[in-house]
Amino acid sequence: GESVGLHLPTLSVQEGDNSIINCAYSNSASDYFIWYKQESGKGPQFIIDIRSNMDKRQGQRVTVLLNKTVKHLSLQIAATQPGDSAVYFCAEITGTYKYIFGTGTRLKVLA
Protein backbone atom coordinates (compact mmCIF):
# COMPACT_ATOMS: atom_id res chain seq x y z
CA GLY A 1 0.00 0.00 0.00
CA GLU A 2 0.96 3.62 -0.07
CA SER A 3 3.08 4.86 2.78
CA VAL A 4 5.43 7.60 3.79
CA GLY A 5 7.90 6.65 6.45
CA LEU A 6 11.06 7.86 8.14
CA HIS A 7 14.21 5.84 8.78
CA LEU A 8 15.15 7.38 12.16
CA PRO A 9 12.65 8.20 14.89
CA THR A 10 15.14 10.38 16.81
CA LEU A 11 18.16 12.30 15.58
CA SER A 12 20.57 14.05 17.93
CA VAL A 13 23.05 16.55 16.49
CA GLN A 14 25.54 18.95 17.94
CA GLU A 15 24.71 22.63 17.65
CA GLY A 16 26.38 24.02 14.55
CA ASP A 17 26.51 20.69 12.75
CA ASN A 18 24.42 19.84 9.72
CA SER A 19 21.33 17.64 10.12
CA ILE A 20 19.94 15.20 7.60
CA ILE A 21 16.46 13.79 8.02
CA ASN A 22 15.30 11.08 5.66
CA CYS A 23 11.96 9.95 4.33
CA ALA A 24 10.93 7.06 2.09
CA TYR A 25 7.82 7.09 -0.02
CA SER A 26 6.16 4.33 -1.92
CA ASN A 27 3.83 5.98 -4.43
CA SER A 28 5.73 6.70 -7.63
CA ALA A 29 2.76 8.77 -8.82
CA SER A 30 3.22 11.35 -6.07
CA ASP A 31 4.02 14.64 -7.72
CA TYR A 32 4.68 16.93 -4.81
CA PHE A 33 6.46 16.65 -1.48
CA ILE A 34 6.53 18.87 1.58
CA TRP A 35 8.62 18.97 4.74
CA TYR A 36 6.97 20.22 7.93
CA LYS A 37 8.35 21.18 11.31
CA GLN A 38 6.25 20.66 14.41
CA GLU A 39 7.27 22.08 17.75
CA SER A 40 5.83 20.69 20.93
CA GLY A 41 2.24 21.77 21.45
CA LYS A 42 2.02 23.55 18.12
CA GLY A 43 0.65 22.88 14.68
CA PRO A 44 2.87 21.80 11.80
CA GLN A 45 4.76 24.54 10.01
CA PHE A 46 5.65 24.42 6.32
CA ILE A 47 9.41 24.38 5.74
CA ILE A 48 10.06 23.62 2.10
CA ASP A 49 8.51 21.81 -0.82
CA ILE A 50 9.67 20.15 -4.00
CA ARG A 51 7.94 18.99 -7.13
CA SER A 52 8.59 15.59 -8.64
CA ASN A 53 10.28 17.13 -11.70
CA MET A 54 13.03 18.54 -9.49
CA ASP A 55 15.97 16.87 -7.73
CA LYS A 56 16.94 19.60 -5.32
CA ARG A 57 15.55 22.76 -3.84
CA GLN A 58 17.18 25.16 -1.44
CA GLY A 59 15.73 27.50 1.11
CA GLN A 60 17.17 29.44 3.96
CA ARG A 61 19.51 26.97 5.72
CA VAL A 62 17.45 24.06 4.41
CA THR A 63 17.78 21.89 1.33
CA VAL A 64 15.44 19.17 0.14
CA LEU A 65 16.73 16.40 -2.08
CA LEU A 66 14.50 14.08 -4.05
CA ASN A 67 15.70 10.78 -5.47
CA LYS A 68 12.88 9.33 -7.51
CA THR A 69 14.88 6.26 -8.48
CA VAL A 70 14.84 4.96 -4.92
CA LYS A 71 11.79 6.95 -3.78
CA HIS A 72 13.73 8.85 -1.16
CA LEU A 73 13.40 12.36 0.19
CA SER A 74 15.77 14.12 2.55
CA LEU A 75 15.85 17.38 4.45
CA GLN A 76 19.21 18.95 5.17
CA ILE A 77 19.50 21.65 7.79
CA ALA A 78 22.73 23.60 7.78
CA ALA A 79 24.35 24.86 10.98
CA THR A 80 21.66 23.37 13.21
CA GLN A 81 20.49 25.66 15.98
CA PRO A 82 18.66 24.98 19.26
CA GLY A 83 15.53 26.47 17.71
CA ASP A 84 15.58 23.69 15.14
CA SER A 85 14.67 21.13 17.82
CA ALA A 86 11.29 19.75 16.79
CA VAL A 87 9.61 16.87 15.03
CA TYR A 88 10.06 16.92 11.28
CA PHE A 89 7.84 14.98 8.93
CA CYS A 90 7.36 14.71 5.23
CA ALA A 91 4.22 14.53 3.19
CA GLU A 92 3.62 13.23 -0.29
CA ILE A 93 0.82 14.57 -2.38
CA THR A 94 -0.89 12.75 -5.20
CA GLY A 95 -3.38 14.85 -7.09
CA THR A 96 -4.98 17.80 -5.31
CA TYR A 97 -6.24 16.38 -2.04
CA LYS A 98 -4.49 13.14 -1.36
CA TYR A 99 -1.91 13.92 1.29
CA ILE A 100 0.03 11.14 3.00
CA PHE A 101 1.96 12.28 6.05
CA GLY A 102 4.89 10.51 7.63
CA THR A 103 5.04 9.81 11.36
CA GLY A 104 7.98 12.15 11.98
CA THR A 105 11.57 12.27 13.22
CA ARG A 106 12.45 14.08 16.42
CA LEU A 107 15.49 16.30 16.03
CA LYS A 108 17.38 17.08 19.23
CA VAL A 109 20.05 19.76 19.12
CA LEU A 110 22.77 19.31 21.70
CA ALA A 111 24.46 22.40 23.09
Partner 1 sequence: NAGVTQTPKFRILKIGQSMTLQCTQDMNHNYMYWYRQDPGMGLKLIYYSVGAGITDKGEVPNGYNVSRSTTEDFPLRLELAAPSQTSVYFCASSLRHTYEQYFGPGTRLTVT
Q: Which of 102, 105, 107, 109 binds partner 1 (CB under 8 A)?
A: 102
Q: Which of 34, 64, 77, 107 binds partner 1 (CB under 8 A)?
A: 34
Which of 70, 101, 88, 97 minimizes the C-alpha distance to 19?
88
In sequence order, what are the residues at sequence separation of 6 or more whose Cβ sits closer than 8 angstroms to the Cβ of residue 101?
4, 36, 89, 90, 91
Answer for the pair 64, 33: CB distance below 8 angstroms, yes or no.
Answer: yes
57: which strand partners?
A: 64
The answer to the question of residue 4 lying near partner 1 (CB under 8 A) is yes
Q: Which of 14, 26, 28, 45 binds partner 1 (CB under 8 A)?
A: 45
In this chain, which stretch among 10-18, 54-62, 70-78, 90-98 interacts with partner 1, using CB under 8 A? 90-98
Rounded Cα distance between 88 and 107, Å, is 7
The answer to the question of residue 41 lying near partner 1 (CB under 8 A) is yes
DSSP letter at 17 equals S
What is the closest distance, in whole angstroms, from the C-beta atom of residue 71 to partner 1 in the complex? 17
Q: Which of 13, 24, 27, 49 binds partner 1 (CB under 8 A)?
A: 49
